[in-house]
Structure 1
């Protein structure tokens, strides 16, 4: 969360013999910032999905415990992009889309989609996607949703600079998801000079300056991904 987090650390619980993560707020936060930090924990606590980072306990010194994940999607793709098969990449994309379809069914918009905010749990037989960092989440009718007009989120539509970050909607979310999907497929963030015609068409639609032409939902994105040709 921008400006509110001191650090996120790993620790091993001696009773469970298992690693956990601890997310801690800065010491100099004002009352409203403390509420926002707690709201991030509270919103994540309400969510029951295998594709959202699980949080456990909120402690009195403004920190909370959460499951420990092995790495970020950013680091995983950068390290393994050349080795991942087409089906393995599709599996990651499908999990991401399931996660965001679930969030949107709850009326939530993440607003900070990036490869660094998607974490992974790596098992021997499967890699599981986990959505993290809900500090900018847009909650319906919440007085604590950050309405700052400053553009945040590395994959967000630059048009939000003029539209205002408080006006972020589903078409901005599908924009960022389009860039995320492109990153998973290619390992790149620069969407210029795409040689694959099918992928180029997919990206152009998802990032269209005309928002009416963008993917209107995660379901539309899913259909488009399924139709992509290698």
Structure 2
């Protein structure tokens, strides 16, 4: 019975985007195939619900057959002692679709049909014995606006499942197609990154053009402006190194941030006053392996290298200029670049000197110099 079921699905294609979600070597391919087919139907139904409210005859028959197939095949697995659950939101979507699906002549999507949230980056089929049931919040969760940028508003909320804060970054409604593409690209980049000093992104909602992300307490600018008079050299050095480790990680991934600023560096602040740096705002990120770069509106970073003539020529040495301004603010508490009259000043000067050949050519060398820094005998507070 199980051999027949496995053979059946092995003959069906599963796109890599779905196969990578399921690490189960025995049944992962089956789950990926079904997930792909469900997403294709749900995406099409959402489109028809917004336009003609007519779902094609062939598609209606196929979805009815798919619903029956899922029920039968999951029952087959259960009989063999393998209990698999379809995520609640997808089961609910199928239950809502079944009444109006017709086996002939197409189907009429109800006028009040609620758009289905299509899940692309998480499993929708799970082993019951290997999963945990999280409670679901039926009531709407209140959002609190905590920030706003060129392309998006940022809100915070307390997740009822975890009892901790998360953030939602929602694209502004007036974005054109290109700007919305950039917003989605930012999520795609963040989703692929995994590093302690880069903010985490969790899930994209196509219907609202928003994604959930790690919540951070403040920006680097706000934190240092409040703590500048009492912050020790050791603390400044730790914050600087976390920031540089994050940038170095991006460069090792072949990425250039291109919009480093005091606002785009976030901090998680803990009760002990310890802080954790989180790089954010990847809307202008560039893959160094990609030679094509749009230049019409992108050359507008908060801290821009005056030696950069064209955004398409942006490289690591240009990123060093904005790094210099961040280090100046961390170590000196000022947004202007300091004179090169001490070790810190000389390091910052080498990041921003006009002769590009004299600048640090990579962040690893800069990190090595910052790691060797020692507190001055008498620390003069800025």
Q: TM-score, normalised by structure 1?
A: 0.90
Partner of residue 62, structure 2: none
Structure 2 vs 1, CA of residues 149 and 215 (structure 1 numbering), >3 Å: closer, same or farther? farther
For 1:175 and 1:127, the matched residues in 2 are separated by 24
Q: Check the 8 A contact 1:58/1:64 in 2, yes or no.
A: yes
Structure 2 vs 1, CA of residues 110 and 42 (structure 1 numbering), >3 Å: closer, same or farther? same
**Structure index of larger Rg:** 2
Partner of residue 163, structure 2: 17
Structure 2 vs 1, CA of residues 77 and 129 (structure 1 numbering), >3 Å: closer, same or farther? same
Partner of residue 199, structure 1: 344
Matched, 1:91 2:253: no
SS at match of 1:45: helix
Matches within 5 A, 1:149-160: 151-160=299-308
Alignment RMSD (CA, Å): 2.1
Q: Check the 8 A contact 2:256/2:315 in 1, yes or no.
A: yes
Give the unaligned 5+ runs of structure 1.
none
For 1:36 and 1:195, the matched residues in 2 are separated by 38
Matched, 1:221 2:366: yes
Give a deviation string over 1:132-184, Cα, whole Å, max 9, x none: 00001012355885433663222221222xx1122110001122112211110
For 2:197 and 2:203, the matched residues in 1 are separated by 19
SS at match of 1:104: helix
Matched, 1:129 2:274: no
Q: Check the 8 A contact 1:22/1:63 in 2, yes or no.
A: yes
Give a deviation string over 1:71-108, Cα, whole Å, max 9, x none: 00110011101111111111101111111111111000
Most deviating of 149-158 and 199-208? 149-158
Structure 2 vs 1, CA of residues 19 and 184 (structure 1 numbering), >3 Å: closer, same or farther? same
Paired residues in the alignment total: 226
Matched, 1:210 2:358: no
Matched, 1:169 2:315: yes
For 1:30 and 1:117, the matched residues in 2 are separated by 23
For 2:293 and 2:224, the matched residues in 1 are separated by 31
Give a deviation string over 1:15-73, Cα, whole Å, max 9, x none: 22111111111213233322211110010000011111111110121111111101001
Give the unaligned 5+ runs of structure 2.
1-147, 377-382
Matched, 1:81 2:228: yes
Higher relative CO (Cα under 8 Å, sequence separation at least 6) belongs to 1
Matches within 5 A, 1:33-72: 33-60=179-206, 61-72=208-219
Partner of residue 110, structure 1: 257
Structure 2 vs 1, CA of residues 64 and 150 (structure 1 numbering), >3 Å: closer, same or farther? closer
For 2:177 and 2:329, the matched residues in 1 are separated by 38
Q: Check the 8 A contact 1:52/1:99 in 2, yes or no.
A: yes
Q: TM-score, normalised by structure 2?
A: 0.56
